Structure 1
Amino acid sequence: MAEAHSAVAFSFAITHEGVHVNYDREVLHVIWHSGVRSWRRSIRRVVNSVRCGVFPATLSSLALTITGYNAMYLTRDLHKSDIDPSFGLIDLLRRHINLDEPVKGIVCCTVSGFAVWFGVFIFMKYTLRTLFLYKGWMYEARGKGRTMSVVSRLWFLAVKMMTKFSRPMLYSYQGSLPRLPLPALDDTMKRYLRSVRPLMDDENYERMQNLALEFQKGIGKKLQRYLLLKSWWATNYVTDWWEEFVYLRGRSPIMVNSNFYGTDAILLRPTRIQAARAANVTHAAFLFRRLVDRQQLQPIMVQNTVPLCSYQYERTFNTSRVPGVQTDKIVHYGDSTHITVYHAGRFFKMPCYYKGALLTPRNFRCYQFERILADESVPEKGEAYLGALTAGERKPWAEARMRFFRKGVNAVSLDLIVERAAFVLVLEEEECDYDENDPSQLDKFGRTMLHGKGYDRWYDKSFNVIVMKNGKIGFNAEHSWADAAIMSHLWEYVITKDLIEEGADAPVMGHLWEFIMVEDIFENGYGYFCMCGFSPFVVECIQVIDNSFKVAEALLNDVDLRLYMHTLYGKGLMKKCRLSPDAYIQMALQLAYFRDAGKFNLTYEASMTRLFRDGRTETVRPCTIESAAWVKAMEDKSSTDEDCVALLRKACGQHQRGYQDAMCGKGIDRHLFCLYVISKYLEVDSPFLNEVLSEPWRLSTSQTPHGQTNRMDLTKNPDCISAGGGFGPVADDGYGVSYIIAGEDTLFFHISSKKSSPVTDSKRFARQIEKALLDMKNLFESAQKK
């Protein structure tokens, strides 16, 4: 591999003629601007931390309060007023501070003003936190013709008044968000038993009831007390254990099993030029990072009033998952000015800043990506398949990292260039596109984003951007650092910036001043286009890479992925039926699965708990007593349409209540999971918890969020609809289904399963979903006619 261009910034030599100093002005300029940029970031972070810390108060209110106290107190003799705005505090301080006038009066007034302001700030902060504890508004019906209760309206008004005079930053609400509440053990037991009733016959259900009762009256009480202690001490009693035990301690491959993917807007593309699309996307991603760093990104608000926790945004960029023998760890670096580019088996380090300024899309295209695409250097031995290490089993990768990447050139390259990069961008050599006459093209697109070839991604990176040869884009994201909603927010920004605001090819050249600047950077500069610098790998390391690739290849070849685009109707008809779109789709999935498998099974739907501090996800169990009754009625020819509609409304209502409970901290599975973790720490065995935690989720579902912000208006830009994203199957004999409500008339389903399973077939299940949605539409139309 060609090595990076190097230059000596400063050197000196002592000879008989004296001391000779040699320095390079250009490199010293780069070093200077890099330091200035770092100091600016540090200062900005300190200021922003103070501003967020005093929210919902403001620093300007502090200045006004202190100024007002000084003015009122120092001029009271002039106005002959006996009013003391500090209620005697200023006079008390004056007796104990030994300074000359008027300094003494100013100091006392300033201290008094600050004390009063601080008291009001603390009152506002804890009042806001108390207000956010109220979740009654979540359970109230909203929409046309429905009114909110008096209590909820007064609550909304109080929250609005508390935040009216403050402009929130990204992390402003963090100190005001309440802690995730710990459910009562009795409540969780009741919800759990109700959720498994449709899955068990009478004998098994009675056995499970006895196990639950034994647990509740026995070891469960002790485990609950320990968990209660943690819920008082930690900001969130679930999150740290969830990240550690569900993600970081997993030793199986994260490719397909954990990582998830997202796709492009399938109907629209600003350019077919790969370098131009890569340039626009890279520039937009760094603009998003700037918004996060400066906290200028507005927090996501529910009902434009209630904030969601924003802590996950911090690790979006400059983050890698580092393998360990027993457990991995998430490493987040404070800053990075480069990305890693993978193309044709080679790794490139691509700097994205010059003298503290982000390069423009033109510069990215012409002097970075096009040069990488034109580079014909050959990968070093073992380099092309290096990414397979991150796709295989975690333990061999951890051992290889300690053995072959502890020191030397490859250790430096891995750490400084790959893991410290802002993100990884892959320039694909193949094309993928959407063809309404060939659904397999969309399937191929999804597989490329989900796993690629098993070696051409760095699966440990927080996210990889994939740019196809024809300009289509997507991403592959590691799951431990954040949930899909965070990546969806980033992707929504990137897509809208690229499709709507940029909307064209990055031109080859712009103004004259820009031409002079880029010539200075790239023709006379030092190493702004440079390669990763991996040296040839030893035979033992190549053998480990090959073994990891074999594991990854077997895994990806077993994936059966189907992307189904439903255009008969979308959320428009669901709203006319006065049903929650999410509940409607979940009932369609229950009907489709029953027809496909001939039975009901444990179903997982991801819900967020970001209404609470450091919240991540909770499980909704869509397979309920009500949903099972409706499905059976749909399969019973003697059932009337009116009966089926009534049962469907009841099932959707129960599902919506379960979703609301999960969002409000009243879920089942995270509570039981944490009780199980404590039981393992205490080395006590619970037959109930062992059985609950070993139950397979044969139908794992998730809704991809769409339109979290107002940046994308699908009414004005209908071609900007995204197909969303998906994930691999959770159970060997089950389905993974991700869906997105892309518009009033469009739905996308990403259906994954394993080819090795004799009971699953993704294409067959897609047909079952299509039939279920059609039957539900006909059901309502028939009921309305009658």
Structure 2
Amino acid sequence: MTVQTQTVLSAILFATGLWLSLILMLRYILKALLSYHAWIFESHGKMSFCTKLWLSLVKMFSGRRPLLYSFQASLPRLPVPSVDDTITRYLESVRPLLDDEQYNQMEVVANDFKRDEAPKLQKYLILKSWWATNYVSDWWEEYIYLRGRSPIMVNSNFYAMDLLYVIPTHRQAARAGNVVHAMLQYRRKLERGEHAPLRALGVVPMCSYQMERMFNTTRIPGIETDFVQHLSDRKHLVVYHKGRFFKVWLYYGGRHLWPSELETQFQRILDDTTEPQPGELKLAALTAGNRVPWARARLKYFSQGVNKASLEAIETSAFFLTLDDEEHGYDPDKLRSLDLYAKSVLHGKCYDRWFDKSFTLIAYKNGKLGVNAEHSWADAPIVGHMWEYVLATDCFHLGYTEEGHCKGDINKGLPPTAKLQWDIPLEVWLLMGKQIADDVDFHGCLFDEFGKGLIKKSRTSPDAFIQLALQLAQFRDKGEFCLTYEASMTRMFREGRTETVRSCTIESTAFVRAMEDKNTKSAQRLDLFRKAADKHQNMYRLAMTGSGIDRHLFCLYIMSKYLNIDSPFLKQVLSEPWRLSTSQTPQQQLNMVDINKFPRYVGAGGGFGPVADDGYGVSYIIVGENLITFHISSKFSSPETDSYRFGQNIRQAMLDIRALFDQNDKKEM
């Protein structure tokens, strides 16, 4: 090797090493910057100099046009809280729910745990946090979702609705064609990382890990545990219509099918009059029932021949589409239209959604849509991000002809859809799934007396306002307080998912009791409200920054099982029922539609089934400035609950809290 060649190689190696070193240095600088969370605890509109400087540095090191996954390696790891902090916060959270004797007993059990079992469990958990990307997420997915043996329909899956007021076309095949094409566009941008990463304050990046498994993903049943199967780019989807399954190719000539071509394919399915094969009609009910019977049936009847090939077509599809033969949607002239619409998207007939797919798209006969999503692979905001893109693309970019068809020429040379073949020597189990579905008591409450705009004028967090209204409604509904779950996100950390905010606090119960005490003056009530709202906001911020209660205790419990350490305290904590489970679904994640200019193009949101047999599930969506939608679920089998009654209590609680501010404004005038 000549001296000149050696010099060139040395220069190349040096430049490469320097380049890699700079990249790593920039990455670690950004990770250090993103570990700063003091900005979350600062008062709204009162940003400190330190935070302003920090924001400028984050912007500088983030680059001009980052791609979806640009920040993944720079996101900090979720920290493990100290046991002392977690136990202190836990005891504070249960104080309003226990009498003095019960609380003293709980203190003893908690302190025994802190002294005896906790040190060893915490040490091993910290060790896990050093090598795991996220010390919670893998166990959360496995033990909360995949190891559950009860039905995932209603109990785990969640749903998203279509636009509330608008149906762009009443042609079922056309609406499905546009929306499927929009989903393919979204998937292509996802695979290329072309979506902009979500960022708090427009600067602080959120983890995008959950988005990776949105398409081409299926939950596969097992005897002891399920697993999530995620594949690379899939070129087909499976369509269910009136008991028949059809395989539809999504590509033609090396490109995605156009909306008009998809409409043609879906119309062919709608026009097909063949009868279902024996056992085919209710086959998907297997995914609605208990997991063990489904896993055994899959091994016994779907491991070879046409059954295996057809099941593989479903499980390897991009997603699942149901062309539903019912009509649904919100109709202000029909009292329960929103309730029936939600129940249909959540569970349908129990055999016309494939509940194991990452999501099932439902296109109704009248052109309305819905999405039923499996929960193990991601949380609701992830599906909501995709759904916002799809609805905006459908209405404002693709559009329809005057006759309601998809735009574009009709290609008559498309290959025909393929009907899946089955040889099923049994009737599937439907009874369990139907019992679960029939027991769901759902009520959709559209609260339009006021919204985010008025709440913010009162210098209150909209989320805290609604959570305190829910506490007041709960007390009026049942005459007692209960353990309350609110989901917050931890996506500022790598592979972060959710954390629990325990919304029933000493401060919130004091406010509720004051509201129910006729001798308490409005000024006192308002003061207690502000204290409770501040407390709630602080707890939410702690949860977002990795200092929550429940995920830490959950992981300590799992660690105790691995180490075979018995912990009465952890057993008791993990067995406590959440009789009020709540979640806010974010809106306008993409800002593709100006809802001030197009106020009717707002989504109806989504929801989930009840978590406790005698409790409520409440999903709420803050839509624009003047509308809040509540999706309330409970069980008919419980004599203690009534979803419509609870909806009325929420409405009245919202109005009563607003009245406190109205009275205060009059006094100030």
TM-score scaled by length of structure 1 = 0.84
Matches of 1:699 and 1:163, distance apart in 2: 40
1:99 maps onto 2:5 in alignment: no
1:559 maps onto 2:559 in alignment: no
Which amino acid counterpart does residue 156 of structure 1 have in structure 2? L
Query: Does the Cα contact within 8 Å between 2:158 and 2:606 map onto a contact in 1?
Result: yes
Matches of 1:633 and 1:258, distance apart in 2: 36
For residues 45-56 of structure 1, the aligned pairs below 5 Å read none
Q: SS of the residue aligned with 2:383?
A: helix
Which amino acid counterpart does residue 410 of structure 1 have in structure 2? N
Aligned to 1:300: 198
**Deviation of residue 711 (structure 1)?**
1.1
Query: Does the Cα contact within 8 Å between 2:614 and 2:640 map onto a contact in 1?
Result: yes
Matches of 1:503 and 1:779, distance apart in 2: 46
Aligned to 2:216: 318
Unaligned segments of structure 1, at least 5 residues: 1-97
Structure with the greater alpha carbon radius of gyration: 1
For residues 159-558 of structure 1, the aligned pairs below 5 Å read 159-164=58-63, 166-366=64-264, 368-415=265-312, 417-505=313-401, 514-515=409-410, 518-519=411-412, 521-522=413-414, 527-533=415-421, 535-538=422-425, 541-542=426-427, 545=428, 548-558=429-439
Query: Does the Cα contact within 8 Å between 2:461 and 2:537 map onto a contact in 1?
Result: yes
Which amino acid counterpart does residue 600 of structure 2 have in structure 1? D
Matches of 1:161 and 1:681, distance apart in 2: 44
Q: SS of the residue aligned with 1:719?
A: coil
Query: Does the Cα contact within 8 Å between 2:174 and 2:405 map onto a contact in 1?
Result: no
Matches of 2:416 and 2:23, distance apart in 1: 48
Query: Does the Cα contact within 8 Å between 1:588 and 1:773 map onto a contact in 2?
Result: yes
Once the two structures are superposed, what CA deviation does each residue of 1:598-645 show, in whole Å capped at 9, x if it has no partner?
A: 010000000111100111110001101110110011011111111111
1:154 maps onto 2:53 in alignment: yes
Query: 2:41 is matched with which residue: 114, 139, 143?
Result: 139
Aligned to 1:584: 465
CA distance 1:667–1:509, shift in 2 (3 Å): closer
Matches of 2:497 and 2:353, distance apart in 1: 26
Which amino acid counterpart does residue 537 of structure 1 have in structure 2? I
Matches of 1:348 and 1:124, distance apart in 2: 50
Once the two structures are superposed, what CA deviation does each residue of 1:393-428 show, in whole Å capped at 9, x if it has no partner?
A: 00000000000001111111101x100010011111
Query: Does the Cα contact within 8 Å between 2:398 and 2:407 map onto a contact in 1?
Result: no
- Identity among equivalent positions (%) equals 52
Matches of 1:99 and 1:442, distance apart in 2: 80
CA distance 1:565–1:509, shift in 2 (3 Å): closer
Which amino acid counterpart does residue 481 of structure 1 have in structure 2? W
Query: Does the Cα contact within 8 Å between 1:170 and 1:297 map onto a contact in 2?
Result: yes
1:108 maps onto 2:10 in alignment: yes
Aligned to 1:63: none
Aligned to 1:721: 602
**Deviation of residue 247 (structure 1)?**
0.2
Q: SS of the residue aligned with 2:430?
A: helix
Query: Does the Cα contact within 8 Å between 2:400 and 2:406 map onto a contact in 1?
Result: no
Q: SS of the residue aligned with 2:371?
A: strand
Query: Does the Cα contact within 8 Å between 2:399 and 2:406 map onto a contact in 1?
Result: no
**Deviation of residue 115 (structure 1)?**
2.2
**Deviation of residue 100 (structure 1)?**
4.6
Worse overlay, 675-684 or 177-186: 675-684
Query: Does the Cα contact within 8 Å between 2:259 and 2:407 map onto a contact in 1?
Result: no
Q: SS of the residue aligned with 1:572?
A: helix
**Deviation of residue 507 (structure 1)?**
6.7
Displacement over 4 Å in runs of 4+ = 505-511
For residues 743-762 of structure 1, the aligned pairs below 5 Å read 743-762=624-643
Matches of 1:115 and 1:344, distance apart in 2: 62
Q: SS of the residue aligned with 1:269?
A: coil
**Deviation of residue 779 (structure 1)?**
1.4
Matches of 1:682 and 1:609, distance apart in 2: 27
1:687 maps onto 2:583 in alignment: no
Matches of 1:372 and 1:119, distance apart in 2: 57
Matches of 1:499 and 1:747, distance apart in 2: 23
**Deviation of residue 104 (structure 1)?**
3.9
**Deviation of residue 713 (structure 1)?**
1.7
Which amino acid counterpart does residue 451 of structure 1 have in structure 2? H
Query: Does the Cα contact within 8 Å between 1:263 and 1:473 map onto a contact in 2?
Result: yes
Query: 1:698 is matched with which residue: 550, 572, 579?
Result: 579
Which amino acid counterpart does residue 149 of structure 1 have in structure 2? S
Query: Does the Cα contact within 8 Å between 1:391 and 1:454 map onto a contact in 2?
Result: yes
Matches of 1:651 and 1:718, distance apart in 2: 33
Matches of 1:562 and 1:121, distance apart in 2: 53
Q: SS of the residue aligned with 2:336?
A: helix
Q: SS of the residue aligned with 1:718?
A: coil
**Deviation of residue 113 (structure 1)?**
1.9
Aligned to 1:67: none
RMSD: 1.2
Query: Does the Cα contact within 8 Å between 1:267 and 1:434 map onto a contact in 2?
Result: yes
Which amino acid counterpart does residue 460 of structure 1 have in structure 2? D
Query: Does the Cα contact within 8 Å between 1:269 and 1:499 map onto a contact in 2?
Result: no
Unaligned segments of structure 2, at least 5 residues: none
Once the two structures are superposed, what CA deviation does each residue of 1:513-561 show, in whole Å capped at 9, x if it has no partner?
A: x55xx23x32xxxx4421122x2311xx32xx1xx31000111010000
Q: SS of the residue aligned with 1:241?
A: helix
Q: SS of the residue aligned with 2:160?
A: strand
Aligned to 2:646: 765
Aligned to 2:32: 130
Which amino acid counterpart does residue 531 of structure 1 have in structure 2? K
1:774 maps onto 2:650 in alignment: no
1:118 maps onto 2:20 in alignment: yes
**Deviation of residue 436 (structure 1)?**
1.4
**Deviation of residue 117 (structure 1)?**
2.0
Once the two structures are superposed, what CA deviation does each residue of 1:534-590 show, in whole Å capped at 9, x if it has no partner?
A: x2311xx32xx1xx3100011101000000001101111100110000110000000
Which amino acid counterpart does residue 329 of structure 2 have in structure 1? D
Q: SS of the residue aligned with 2:629?
A: strand
CA distance 1:116–1:630, shift in 2 (3 Å): same
Query: Does the Cα contact within 8 Å between 1:235 and 1:613 map onto a contact in 2?
Result: yes
TM-score scaled by length of structure 2 = 0.98
Which amino acid counterpart does residue 536 of structure 1 have in structure 2? D
CA distance 1:411–1:662, shift in 2 (3 Å): same
Matches of 1:632 and 1:393, distance apart in 2: 42
**Higher RCO structure, 1 or 2 (CA under 8 Å, sep 6+):** 2
